Amino acid sequence: MPTTAAISVEQQLRQERDRFIAFAFCGNDMLMELDAEGRIRFAAGATELLAGAAGSALLGRPFIDLVADADRPIVGALVAAAAQGGKRFDDAPFVLTPPGRDAVKVEATGFTVPQLKGNCFLAVRRARQPKVVAAPPVAPSQSPAAEVLAARQLLESRKFDIAFQPVVSLDTGAFHHLEALLRLPSGQSPAQFIHLAEANGFIADLDLAITKETVSRLITVAEKGRPTSVAINLSGRSLSAPGFAARLNEVLSVRRTLSQLVILEITDSGAITDLRAVNEFIQSMRTTGFKVTLDDFGARGAAFEQLRQMEVDYVKIDGSFIREARKSDRGKPFVIAMTGLCRALGVTAIAEQVEDPATIDFLRECGVSYGQGYLFGRPMADADLLVGESMSQIRWRRSNAEIMSYYGSERA
């Protein structure tokens, strides 16, 4: 029977193994282990460069003390959620201010390992891209007209960024495509900005600007021999705007291969008043090779009518619908019926907000083919991450021990 000392050594070795396996998977510049109170228990890698001291000298110090004052609230919340609730986060941008050194812009991934519950691994790398130059924030005292003017100026100056989040197969975990998502400077809410654009008549301009930027990045990586498919959001209001279809076709016609890479994802479909006219536009795009997704399916009763009148390739089941379905014994049959209808129509179902393996099991039992959510990866703004199939194995899932373990056990 092993002695207490032998067990202690074995546990220590397992911990060291887990630390360095995690470090290798994350491919970052520095790895730290934080206890439940956020104090540094272990540090390795480029600690001198990023944290201003050797790893041994950092032990016992609160990690938050190394973070720039402005970033401390959000970083503290992320670390606490990871350590106490197992909530993984990916590539959170912030600034480190090591004593006696210049500030360093970094991105960090935080996650837990089953053998070390209560502790948080923090894998840190120097930021690959400079942060977007911040536009002057809109003061709360500004009038609605001034707020709209500031939003239009931000759009015209292109002071926004695009982040990409993966959609993967729920059966295998293999990467399928990305969704392009708006990101704004100074922590502004993309959802509020989009709502402002919809309410004030410039959502079509916003959709076209995002499409142009995404297409530019797609072309860049495709020319490097690494093409990948990306879903671009288009508001239902934009599809109803005069001249929008012609402007969109102009953007998407710059490369013939874009029809094989771009998926058009229709959001705010409740705003569509003429389903027949929009379906004609959808079919014209599908005829030329573009795939089309209907977003927020299940979030409103009209979704089934939209699916009846608009022929699409994918539907994205609303995350709140899935969460509510899991809470009720009657919820699962509804999701099964929904996915059965989709299959009968030749439409593939994608589920949003997949955040734990139990949700994967539920969705697979219901016949959902693909999933998107923080479990597979948070949105990332680095265009160089658009690297095709290898991305799913190397970048998106290498820092997520939980999901890798899940699919590893499936294959065993």
> Are residues 15 and 6 in contact, defined by beta-carbon separation less than 8 angstroms?
no
Q: What is the model's pLDDT at position 319?
A: 86
3-state secondary structure at position 329: coil
Question: Any alpha helices (H) in 29-93, and if so which ranges?
Answer: 47-51, 55-58, 72-85
For 4-126, the fitting CATH number among 3.40.50.10790, 1.20.950.20, 3.30.365.10, 3.30.450.20 is: 3.30.450.20
For domain 144-411, the CATH superfamily is EAL domain (3.20.20.450)
Residues with Cβ within 8 Å of residue 16, at least 6 apart in sequence? none
DSSP 184: -
What parts of the chain have a pLDDT lower than 50? 21-27, 129-141, 302, 383-384, 387-399, 411-412
Q: What is the model's pLDDT at position 400?
A: 58
Residue 382's φ and ψ, nearest 5 degrees, are -80, 115
> Are residues 248 and 205 in contact, defined by beta-carbon separation less than 8 angstroms?
no
Q: What is the model's pLDDT at position 25?
A: 43
Q: What is the model's pLDDT at position 21?
A: 47
Rounded Cα distance, 279 and 241, in Å:
14
Rounded Cα distance, 125 and 105, in Å:
9
314: β partners: 293, 348
Mean pLDDT of the chain: 80
Rounded Cα distance, 342 and 297, in Å:
11
Q: How far is CA 184 from CA 10, 162, 166, 203, 231, in A?
A: 48, 9, 20, 15, 19
Rounded Cα distance, 343 and 190, in Å:
33
Residue 45, sorted as left (phi over 0), alpha (psi -120 to 50) or beta, turns out to be: left
32: β partners: 43, 122
Token pair 């005069």 is found at 242
Q: What is the model's pLDDT at position 409?
A: 59
3-state secondary structure at position 316: strand
Q: What is the model's pLDDT at position 143?
A: 58
Q: What is the model's pLDDT at position 134?
A: 41
Write the single-letter amino acid at 208: L
Among residues 21, 28, 83, the alpha carbon closest in space to that of 51 is found at 28
Query: Mind listing the pLDDT tens digit for each residue in 235-284?
Result: 989 998 889 999 999 999 988 889 999 999 998 776 777 888 889 999 99
Helices and strands, counts by H and E, the chain: 17, 13
Domain residue limits, the chain: 4-126, 144-411
Rounded Cα distance, 111 and 399, in Å:
8
Rounded Cα distance, 120 and 86, in Å:
8
Query: Mind listing the pLDDT tens digit for each residue in 109-163?
Result: 887 765 555 678 888 888 764 434 344 444 444 557 788 888 888 888 888 889 8
Rounded Cα distance, 23 and 36, in Å:
20
> Are residues 106 and 127 in contact, defined by beta-carbon separation less than 8 angstroms?
yes
Rounded Cα distance, 363 and 155, in Å:
38
> Are residues 313 and 348 in contact, defined by beta-carbon separation less than 8 angstroms?
yes
67: β partners: 96
